[in-house]
Homo-oligomer: A and B are copies of this chain.
Protein backbone atom coordinates (compact mmCIF):
# COMPACT_ATOMS: atom_id res chain seq x y z
CA UNK A 1 0.00 0.00 0.00
CA UNK A 2 1.66 3.20 -1.18
CA UNK A 3 -0.14 5.48 1.28
CA UNK A 4 1.11 4.05 4.58
CA UNK A 5 3.34 6.77 5.98
CA UNK A 6 6.62 6.12 7.78
CA UNK A 7 6.63 7.40 11.34
CA UNK A 8 9.87 9.36 11.32
CA UNK A 9 11.19 11.43 8.44
CA UNK A 10 14.69 12.59 9.20
CA UNK A 11 18.31 12.14 8.29
CA UNK A 12 21.05 10.66 10.46
CA UNK A 13 22.24 12.88 13.33
CA UNK A 14 25.20 14.92 12.22
CA UNK A 15 24.32 14.76 8.52
CA UNK A 16 22.18 17.08 6.45
CA UNK A 17 20.56 17.67 3.12
CA UNK A 18 21.74 20.63 1.07
CA UNK A 19 18.90 22.67 -0.37
CA UNK A 20 19.21 24.45 -3.75
CA UNK A 21 20.37 27.73 -2.16
CA UNK A 22 23.08 25.96 -0.18
CA UNK A 23 24.08 24.06 -3.32
CA UNK A 24 24.41 27.31 -5.27
CA UNK A 25 26.80 28.66 -2.61
CA UNK A 26 28.63 25.34 -2.47
CA UNK A 27 29.08 25.32 -6.24
CA UNK A 28 30.57 28.81 -6.15
CA UNK A 29 33.07 27.85 -3.42
CA UNK A 30 34.01 24.61 -5.17
CA UNK A 31 34.54 26.43 -8.46
CA UNK A 32 36.97 28.86 -6.84
CA UNK A 33 38.90 26.03 -5.20
CA UNK A 34 38.95 23.80 -8.27
CA UNK A 35 40.05 26.71 -10.45
CA UNK A 36 42.99 27.24 -8.11
CA UNK A 37 43.94 23.55 -8.04
CA UNK A 38 43.80 23.44 -11.84
CA UNK A 39 45.84 26.62 -12.11
CA UNK A 40 48.56 24.73 -10.27
CA UNK A 41 48.39 21.86 -12.74
CA UNK A 42 46.68 19.28 -10.56
CA UNK A 43 44.93 16.23 -11.98
CA UNK A 44 42.01 14.72 -10.10
CA UNK A 45 41.20 11.16 -9.03
CA UNK A 46 38.33 9.50 -7.24
CA UNK A 47 38.25 6.54 -4.86
CA UNK A 48 35.34 4.49 -3.46
CA UNK A 49 33.48 5.86 -0.45
CA UNK A 50 34.43 2.73 1.46
CA UNK A 51 37.80 1.06 1.84
CA UNK A 52 38.65 -2.40 3.09
CA UNK A 53 38.67 -2.10 6.87
CA UNK A 54 42.33 -3.12 7.07
CA UNK A 55 43.32 -0.24 4.78
CA UNK A 56 42.27 2.24 7.47
CA UNK A 57 43.57 0.23 10.43
CA UNK A 58 46.49 1.78 12.29
CA UNK A 59 46.49 5.08 10.40
CA UNK A 60 44.56 7.39 12.71
CA UNK A 61 45.77 6.61 16.25
CA UNK A 62 43.11 7.26 18.86
CA UNK A 63 40.68 8.59 16.24
CA UNK A 64 40.18 5.10 14.83
CA UNK A 65 37.17 4.70 17.11
CA UNK A 66 35.40 7.32 15.00
CA UNK A 67 35.44 5.21 11.84
CA UNK A 68 32.06 4.06 10.43
CA UNK A 69 32.08 0.32 9.70
CA UNK A 70 29.70 -1.44 7.33
CA UNK A 71 27.72 -4.42 8.52
CA UNK A 72 29.20 -7.81 7.70
CA UNK A 73 26.70 -9.01 5.07
CA UNK A 74 29.07 -11.65 3.75
CA UNK A 75 32.11 -10.68 1.74
CA UNK A 76 34.70 -8.10 2.61
CA UNK A 77 34.81 -6.00 5.80
CA UNK A 78 34.41 -2.36 4.85
CA UNK A 79 34.70 1.04 6.48
CA UNK A 80 33.65 4.47 5.24
CA UNK A 81 36.67 6.63 4.46
CA UNK A 82 37.81 8.84 7.32
CA UNK A 83 39.82 11.24 5.18
CA UNK A 84 41.12 11.44 1.61
CA UNK A 85 44.80 11.11 2.49
CA UNK A 86 44.88 7.42 3.40
CA UNK A 87 42.88 6.43 0.27
CA UNK A 88 45.32 8.55 -1.75
CA UNK A 89 48.32 6.76 -0.25
CA UNK A 90 46.61 3.39 -0.87
CA UNK A 91 45.94 4.45 -4.49
CA UNK A 92 49.58 5.41 -5.05
CA UNK A 93 50.95 2.17 -3.60
CA UNK A 94 48.38 0.00 -5.40
CA UNK A 95 49.18 1.58 -8.76
CA UNK A 96 52.91 2.02 -8.09
CA UNK A 97 52.67 5.75 -8.78
CA UNK A 98 55.71 7.70 -7.61
CA UNK A 99 54.90 11.16 -8.99
CA UNK A 100 51.56 12.90 -9.10
CA UNK A 101 49.98 16.21 -8.26
CA UNK A 102 46.30 15.57 -7.64
CA UNK A 103 43.24 17.08 -6.05
CA UNK A 104 40.32 15.15 -4.67
CA UNK A 105 37.04 16.64 -3.50
CA UNK A 106 34.75 14.18 -1.76
CA UNK A 107 32.86 13.42 1.40
CA UNK A 108 34.44 11.73 4.41
CA UNK A 109 32.81 10.18 7.49
CA UNK A 110 33.50 10.44 11.23
CA UNK A 111 31.38 9.12 14.10
CA UNK A 112 32.19 12.22 16.08
CA UNK A 113 29.87 14.17 18.34
CA UNK A 114 28.18 16.38 15.81
CA UNK A 115 28.28 20.11 16.55
CA UNK A 116 26.48 21.33 13.48
CA UNK A 117 26.22 24.95 14.59
CA UNK A 118 30.02 24.99 14.62
CA UNK A 119 30.16 23.37 11.20
CA UNK A 120 31.18 19.97 12.58
CA UNK A 121 29.32 17.18 10.81
CA UNK A 122 29.62 13.42 10.60
CA UNK A 123 29.50 13.57 6.81
CA UNK A 124 31.49 16.41 5.37
CA UNK A 125 33.48 17.42 2.34
CA UNK A 126 37.23 17.52 2.14
CA UNK A 127 39.07 19.35 -0.64
CA UNK A 128 42.56 17.95 -0.80
CA UNK A 129 45.54 18.92 -2.92
CA UNK A 130 48.68 16.79 -2.65
CA UNK A 131 52.04 16.55 -4.36
CA UNK A 132 53.72 13.13 -4.31
CA UNK A 133 57.26 12.59 -5.47
CA UNK A 134 60.93 12.80 -4.55
CA UNK A 135 61.72 16.48 -5.12
CA UNK A 136 64.07 19.14 -3.80
CA UNK A 137 63.25 20.32 -0.32
CA UNK A 138 60.39 22.72 0.37
CA UNK A 139 59.49 23.56 -3.25
CA UNK A 140 56.20 21.59 -3.30
CA UNK A 141 55.64 22.50 0.36
CA UNK A 142 55.84 26.20 -0.51
CA UNK A 143 53.39 25.69 -3.39
CA UNK A 144 50.84 24.19 -0.98
CA UNK A 145 51.00 27.33 1.16
CA UNK A 146 50.73 29.53 -1.92
CA UNK A 147 47.56 27.63 -2.82
CA UNK A 148 46.03 28.21 0.62
CA UNK A 149 46.91 31.89 0.28
CA UNK A 150 45.29 32.14 -3.17
CA UNK A 151 42.10 30.33 -2.16
CA UNK A 152 41.51 32.26 1.06
CA UNK A 153 42.19 35.53 -0.75
CA UNK A 154 39.85 34.69 -3.59
CA UNK A 155 37.03 33.52 -1.31
CA UNK A 156 37.29 36.89 0.42
CA UNK A 157 36.60 35.53 3.89
CA UNK A 158 38.54 38.29 5.65
CA UNK A 159 42.01 38.36 7.13
CA UNK A 160 43.80 35.09 7.86
CA UNK A 161 47.06 33.68 9.19
CA UNK A 162 48.84 30.54 8.11
CA UNK A 163 50.74 28.95 11.00
CA UNK A 164 53.64 26.66 10.11
CA UNK A 165 55.75 24.31 12.16
CA UNK A 166 57.55 21.01 11.61
CA UNK A 167 57.08 17.61 13.24
CA UNK A 168 60.85 17.31 13.52
CA UNK A 169 61.05 20.58 15.42
CA UNK A 170 58.32 19.36 17.79
CA UNK A 171 60.00 16.01 18.31
CA UNK A 172 63.42 17.66 18.77
CA UNK A 173 61.89 20.08 21.22
CA UNK A 174 60.29 17.22 23.18
CA UNK A 175 63.65 15.42 23.24
CA UNK A 176 65.68 18.37 24.49
CA UNK A 177 63.00 19.21 27.06
CA UNK A 178 63.33 15.70 28.51
CA UNK A 179 60.11 14.09 27.28
CA UNK A 180 60.62 10.28 27.14
CA UNK A 181 60.55 8.93 23.56
CA UNK A 182 57.40 6.89 24.09
CA UNK A 183 55.50 9.99 25.22
CA UNK A 184 56.18 12.15 22.13
CA UNK A 185 52.86 11.40 20.43
CA UNK A 186 50.66 11.80 23.47
CA UNK A 187 52.41 15.02 24.57
CA UNK A 188 52.13 16.25 21.00
CA UNK A 189 48.36 15.73 21.04
CA UNK A 190 48.18 17.72 24.28
CA UNK A 191 50.15 20.58 22.70
CA UNK A 192 47.63 20.40 19.85
CA UNK A 193 44.95 21.60 22.28
CA UNK A 194 46.65 24.98 22.82
CA UNK A 195 44.30 26.66 20.34
CA UNK A 196 41.34 25.69 22.55
CA UNK A 197 42.86 25.53 26.04
CA UNK A 198 45.07 27.85 28.11
CA UNK A 199 48.70 26.92 28.71
CA UNK A 200 47.88 26.30 32.38
CA UNK A 201 45.33 23.63 31.47
CA UNK A 202 47.60 22.11 28.86
CA UNK A 203 50.39 21.90 31.41
CA UNK A 204 48.05 20.32 33.95
CA UNK A 205 47.12 17.64 31.40
CA UNK A 206 50.80 16.98 30.65
CA UNK A 207 51.79 16.67 34.29
CA UNK A 208 48.71 15.15 35.91
CA UNK A 209 47.29 12.97 33.16
CA UNK A 210 50.32 12.15 31.03
CA UNK A 211 52.84 11.95 33.89
CA UNK A 212 55.36 14.46 32.52
CA UNK A 213 57.71 16.18 34.98
CA UNK A 214 56.82 19.77 35.82
CA UNK A 215 60.29 20.82 34.71
CA UNK A 216 59.92 19.32 31.22
CA UNK A 217 56.47 20.86 30.88
CA UNK A 218 57.78 24.31 31.77
CA UNK A 219 60.55 24.05 29.21
CA UNK A 220 57.99 23.06 26.55
CA UNK A 221 55.88 25.99 27.70
CA UNK A 222 58.67 28.41 26.88
CA UNK A 223 59.12 27.11 23.37
CA UNK A 224 55.47 26.79 22.41
CA UNK A 225 54.88 30.47 23.20
CA UNK A 226 57.29 31.45 20.43
CA UNK A 227 56.04 32.87 17.13
CA UNK A 228 57.94 34.57 14.33
CA UNK A 229 59.30 34.24 10.85
CA UNK A 230 62.59 33.24 9.30
CA UNK A 231 64.36 35.16 12.09
CA UNK A 232 62.87 32.86 14.75
CA UNK A 233 64.09 29.80 12.85
CA UNK A 234 67.56 31.35 12.72
CA UNK A 235 67.49 32.16 16.44
CA UNK A 236 66.42 28.64 17.36
CA UNK A 237 69.22 27.18 15.25
CA UNK A 238 71.54 29.02 17.66
CA UNK A 239 69.52 28.06 20.76
CA UNK A 240 71.88 26.10 23.03
CA UNK A 241 69.26 23.47 23.85
CA UNK A 242 67.35 23.16 20.58
CA UNK A 243 70.55 22.99 18.53
CA UNK A 244 71.46 19.75 20.34
CA UNK A 245 68.71 17.98 18.37
CA UNK A 246 69.72 17.02 14.84
CA UNK A 247 66.06 16.53 13.98
CA UNK A 248 65.10 19.98 15.18
CA UNK A 249 67.97 21.52 13.20
CA UNK A 250 66.85 19.76 10.02
CA UNK A 251 63.32 21.08 10.59
CA UNK A 252 64.54 24.60 11.33
CA UNK A 253 66.71 24.72 8.21
CA UNK A 254 63.72 23.65 6.16
CA UNK A 255 61.55 26.33 7.77
CA UNK A 256 64.19 28.88 6.70
CA UNK A 257 64.17 27.55 3.16
CA UNK A 258 60.36 27.53 3.14
CA UNK A 259 60.26 31.19 4.12
CA UNK A 260 62.75 32.01 1.36
CA UNK A 261 60.43 30.47 -1.25
CA UNK A 262 57.37 32.07 0.33
CA UNK A 263 59.08 35.45 -0.03
CA UNK A 264 59.40 34.81 -3.77
CA UNK A 265 55.67 34.04 -3.79
CA UNK A 266 54.96 37.26 -1.83
CA UNK A 267 52.89 35.47 0.80
CA UNK A 268 55.01 35.85 3.96
CA UNK A 269 52.71 38.60 5.24
CA UNK A 270 50.20 35.91 6.23
CA UNK A 271 52.59 33.17 7.36
CA UNK A 272 53.84 32.75 10.91
CA UNK A 273 56.23 30.13 12.29
CA UNK A 274 54.42 29.00 15.45
CA UNK A 275 55.95 26.38 17.74
CA UNK A 276 52.62 25.62 19.37
CA UNK A 277 51.15 24.21 16.14
CA UNK A 278 51.04 20.43 16.54
CA UNK A 279 48.20 18.90 14.46
CA UNK A 280 46.84 15.60 15.69
CA UNK A 281 47.32 13.10 12.90
CA UNK A 282 50.00 10.49 13.31
CA UNK A 283 51.22 10.41 9.74
CA UNK A 284 52.93 13.81 9.46
CA UNK A 285 56.71 13.66 9.23
CA UNK A 286 57.87 17.18 8.31
CA UNK A 287 56.36 20.61 7.75
CA UNK A 288 52.82 21.10 9.08
CA UNK A 289 50.53 24.11 8.65
CA UNK A 290 47.12 25.40 9.45
CA UNK A 291 45.24 28.48 8.25
CA UNK A 292 42.93 30.40 10.59
CA UNK A 293 40.63 33.33 9.95
CA UNK A 294 41.34 36.30 12.18
CA UNK A 295 38.81 38.87 11.01
CA UNK A 296 36.42 40.39 13.53
CA UNK A 297 33.24 39.47 11.61
CA UNK A 298 34.24 35.86 11.34
CA UNK A 299 35.25 35.88 15.01
CA UNK A 300 31.89 37.06 16.18
CA UNK A 301 30.04 34.54 14.04
CA UNK A 302 32.18 31.74 15.35
CA UNK A 303 31.96 32.88 18.96
CA UNK A 304 28.24 33.07 18.76
CA UNK A 305 28.14 29.53 17.47
CA UNK A 306 30.67 28.29 20.00
CA UNK A 307 28.85 29.99 22.88
CA UNK A 308 32.19 31.40 23.91
CA UNK A 309 32.15 33.40 27.17
CA UNK A 310 35.14 35.61 26.49
CA UNK A 311 34.17 36.42 22.92
CA UNK A 312 36.14 39.62 22.53
CA UNK A 313 39.42 38.01 23.57
CA UNK A 314 39.40 35.38 20.86
CA UNK A 315 41.54 36.13 17.83
CA UNK A 316 41.29 33.00 15.74
CA UNK A 317 38.15 31.14 14.72
CA UNK A 318 39.67 27.76 14.11
CA UNK A 319 41.18 26.14 11.12
CA UNK A 320 39.93 26.67 7.56
CA UNK A 321 42.81 24.76 5.97
CA UNK A 322 45.58 22.48 7.13
CA UNK A 323 48.10 19.97 6.01
CA UNK A 324 51.69 18.95 5.98
CA UNK A 325 54.30 16.52 4.83
CA UNK A 326 53.79 12.77 5.27
CA UNK A 327 56.71 10.89 3.77
CA UNK A 328 55.97 7.52 5.39
CA UNK A 329 52.30 6.85 4.64
CA UNK A 330 52.55 5.41 1.12
CA UNK A 331 55.30 3.04 2.30
CA UNK A 332 52.86 1.55 4.82
CA UNK A 333 50.91 0.15 1.85
CA UNK A 334 53.82 -0.99 -0.25
CA UNK A 335 54.82 -4.63 0.19
CA UNK A 336 58.47 -3.60 0.04
CA UNK A 337 57.91 -0.45 2.11
CA UNK A 338 59.02 1.81 -0.75
CA UNK A 339 58.48 5.40 0.30
CA UNK A 340 56.83 8.08 -1.79
CA UNK A 341 57.32 11.48 -0.13
CA UNK A 342 54.10 13.51 -0.04
CA UNK A 343 52.97 16.93 1.01
CA UNK A 344 49.45 18.25 0.85
CA UNK A 345 46.76 20.55 2.06
CA UNK A 346 43.10 20.09 2.91
CA UNK A 347 40.68 23.00 2.66
CA UNK A 348 38.15 23.05 5.51
CA UNK A 349 35.24 23.57 3.25
CA UNK A 350 32.38 23.10 5.74
CA UNK A 351 33.45 26.05 7.87
CA UNK A 352 33.92 28.10 4.71
CA UNK A 353 30.39 27.11 3.59
CA UNK A 354 28.85 28.27 6.83
CA UNK A 355 30.65 31.61 6.63
CA UNK A 356 29.55 32.05 3.00
CA UNK A 357 26.00 31.12 3.95
CA UNK A 358 25.98 33.71 6.73
CA UNK A 359 27.31 36.29 4.29
CA UNK A 360 24.58 35.40 1.78
CA UNK A 361 21.90 35.66 4.50
CA UNK A 362 23.19 39.10 5.46
CA UNK A 363 23.37 40.34 1.87
CA UNK A 364 20.38 42.12 0.30
CA UNK A 365 21.06 40.30 -2.96
CA UNK A 366 19.08 37.08 -3.42
CA UNK A 367 21.01 33.88 -4.16
CA UNK A 368 19.78 32.51 -7.50
CA UNK A 369 19.50 28.73 -7.61
CA UNK A 370 19.19 28.44 -11.40
CA UNK A 371 20.69 30.32 -14.33
CA UNK A 372 17.48 30.49 -16.37
CA UNK A 373 17.63 33.33 -18.90
CA UNK A 374 14.05 33.43 -20.08
CA UNK A 375 10.54 32.19 -19.37
CA UNK A 376 8.34 31.34 -22.36
CA UNK A 377 4.91 32.67 -21.44
CA UNK A 378 1.58 33.27 -23.08
CA UNK A 379 -0.83 36.16 -22.72
CA UNK A 380 -3.88 34.20 -23.84
CA UNK A 381 -5.42 30.75 -23.53
CA UNK A 382 -4.77 27.79 -25.81
CA UNK A 383 -1.18 28.60 -26.68
CA UNK A 384 0.52 25.64 -25.00
CA UNK A 385 1.62 24.16 -28.32
CA UNK A 386 3.14 27.46 -29.44
CA UNK A 387 4.97 27.79 -26.12
CA UNK A 388 6.36 24.27 -26.34
CA UNK A 389 7.49 24.83 -29.90
CA UNK A 390 9.27 28.05 -29.02
CA UNK A 391 10.97 26.72 -25.90
CA UNK A 392 12.19 23.72 -27.85
CA UNK A 393 13.89 26.12 -30.31
CA UNK A 394 15.47 27.99 -27.43
CA UNK A 395 16.75 24.83 -25.73
CA UNK A 396 18.22 23.64 -29.01
CA UNK A 397 20.03 26.97 -29.33
CA UNK A 398 21.54 26.51 -25.85
CA UNK A 399 19.31 29.06 -24.11
CA UNK A 400 18.37 28.26 -20.51
CA UNK A 401 14.60 28.50 -20.53
CA UNK A 402 11.53 27.50 -18.58
CA UNK A 403 7.84 27.14 -19.33
CA UNK A 404 5.00 26.64 -16.87
CA UNK A 405 3.59 23.10 -16.94
CA UNK A 406 0.01 24.27 -17.34
CA UNK A 407 -2.17 24.37 -20.40
CA UNK A 408 -3.49 27.83 -19.58
CA UNK A 409 -1.42 29.61 -16.96
CA UNK A 410 -2.32 33.19 -16.06
CA UNK A 411 0.10 35.81 -17.37
CA UNK A 412 0.39 37.26 -13.88
CA UNK A 413 1.41 33.94 -12.34
CA UNK A 414 4.02 33.47 -15.06
CA UNK A 415 5.47 36.91 -14.35
CA UNK A 416 5.40 36.34 -10.60
CA UNK A 417 7.34 33.10 -11.05
CA UNK A 418 10.05 35.06 -12.90
CA UNK A 419 10.29 37.64 -10.12
CA UNK A 420 10.67 34.95 -7.47
CA UNK A 421 13.19 32.90 -9.40
CA UNK A 422 15.16 35.91 -10.63
CA UNK A 423 14.58 35.09 -14.30
CA UNK A 424 15.50 38.29 -16.16
CA UNK A 425 13.46 37.94 -19.38
CA UNK A 426 10.02 36.76 -20.50
CA UNK A 427 9.08 35.86 -24.07
CA UNK A 428 5.34 36.52 -24.28
CA UNK A 429 3.30 34.86 -27.02
CA UNK A 430 -0.13 36.15 -28.01
CA UNK A 431 -2.43 35.83 -31.04
CA UNK A 432 -1.23 39.12 -32.47
CA UNK A 433 2.46 38.34 -31.96
CA UNK A 434 2.04 34.97 -33.66
CA UNK A 435 0.35 36.62 -36.64
CA UNK A 436 3.12 39.22 -36.85
CA UNK A 437 5.91 36.64 -36.51
CA UNK A 438 7.26 38.36 -33.41
CA UNK A 439 7.67 37.70 -29.71
CA UNK A 440 7.07 40.30 -27.03
CA UNK A 441 10.27 40.37 -24.99
CA UNK A 442 9.73 41.68 -21.46
CA UNK A 443 12.53 42.73 -19.13
CA UNK A 444 11.35 41.63 -15.70
CA UNK A 445 13.29 44.23 -13.70
CA UNK A 446 12.18 47.29 -15.71
CA UNK A 447 8.89 45.95 -17.16
CA UNK A 448 10.09 47.29 -20.50
CA UNK A 449 8.52 45.38 -23.42
CA UNK A 450 9.74 45.23 -26.99
CA UNK A 451 8.65 43.21 -30.04
CA UNK A 452 11.45 41.05 -31.46
CA UNK A 453 11.18 39.07 -34.67
CA UNK A 454 11.42 35.31 -34.24
CA UNK A 455 14.58 35.33 -36.34
CA UNK A 456 16.35 37.74 -33.97
CA UNK A 457 15.07 36.31 -30.70
CA UNK A 458 17.96 34.02 -29.83
CA UNK A 459 20.68 36.57 -30.46
CA UNK A 460 18.68 39.17 -28.56
CA UNK A 461 18.35 36.87 -25.51
CA UNK A 462 22.08 36.15 -25.60
CA UNK A 463 22.91 39.83 -25.94
CA UNK A 464 20.81 40.73 -22.93
CA UNK A 465 21.76 37.86 -20.60
CA UNK A 466 25.23 36.63 -21.49
CA UNK A 467 27.11 39.79 -20.54
Contacts and interface: CB of A to CB of B under 8 A. Distances in A.
Interface string A1-22: 0111111111111011111100
A24 B405 CA distance: 36
B2 A331 contact: yes
B6 A94 contact: no
A42 B95 CA distance: 39
Interface in A94-132: 94-95, 100, 102, 107, 109, 111, 123, 131
A264 interface: yes
Contacts of A2: 283, 328-329, 331-332
Contact of A3 (B9, B54, B55, B328): B328
Interface string A52-91: 1011000000000000111111011010100000000011
B264 A385 contact: yes
Given A17-B46, A48-B15, A71-B70, A337 B5 contact: yes
Contact of A48 (B17, B139, B403): B17
Interface stretch (A200-208, A366-374, A455-463): A366-374
A196 interface: no
Q: Within the oligomer, what is the number of copies of this chain?
A: 2
Contacts of A399: 39
Given A18-B46, A45-B17, A46-B23, A405 B52 contact: no
Given A38-B400, A402-B41, A13 B372 contact: no
A189 interface: no
A370 B9 contact: no
Given A3-B328, A94-B10, A406-B135, A398 B102 contact: no
Contacts of A142: 388
Contacts of A333: 5-6, 9
A277 B109 CA distance: 40
B73 A68 contact: yes
Give the most central of A6, A69, A140, A369: most B CB within 10 Å. Answer: A6
Contact of A392 (B9, B91, B266): B266
Interface in A135-184: 135-136, 139-140, 142-143, 146, 150
Given A48-B17, A333-B5, A370-B42, A264 B389 contact: yes
A405 B135 CA distance: 6
Interface in A344-394: 369-372, 384-385, 388-389, 392
Contacts of A38: 370-371, 400
A350 to B, nearest CB: 13
B337 A3 contact: yes
A20 B395 CA distance: 32
A212 interface: no
A290 interface: no
Contacts of A407: 136, 139
Interface in A380-430: 384-385, 388-389, 392, 395-396, 398-403, 405-407
A388 B337 contact: no
Q: Report the 10 A-B pairs with minimum CB-CB distance, sorted nearest first.
A: A135-B405, A20-B43, A2-B328, A15-B48, A41-B402, A18-B46, A69-B71, A139-B405, A264-B388, A3-B337
Given A7-B54, A38-B370, A70-B71, 5 more contacts: A20-B45, A136-B407, A139-B407, A264-B388, A264-B392
Interface of A: 2-13, 15-20, 23-24, 26-27, 38-52, 54-55, 68-73, 75-76, 78, 80, 90-91, 93-95, 100, 102, 107, 109, 111, 123, 131, 133, 135-136, 139-140, 142-143, 146, 150, 261, 264-266, 283, 328-329, 331-337, 369-372, 384-385, 388-389, 392, 395-396, 398-403, 405-407
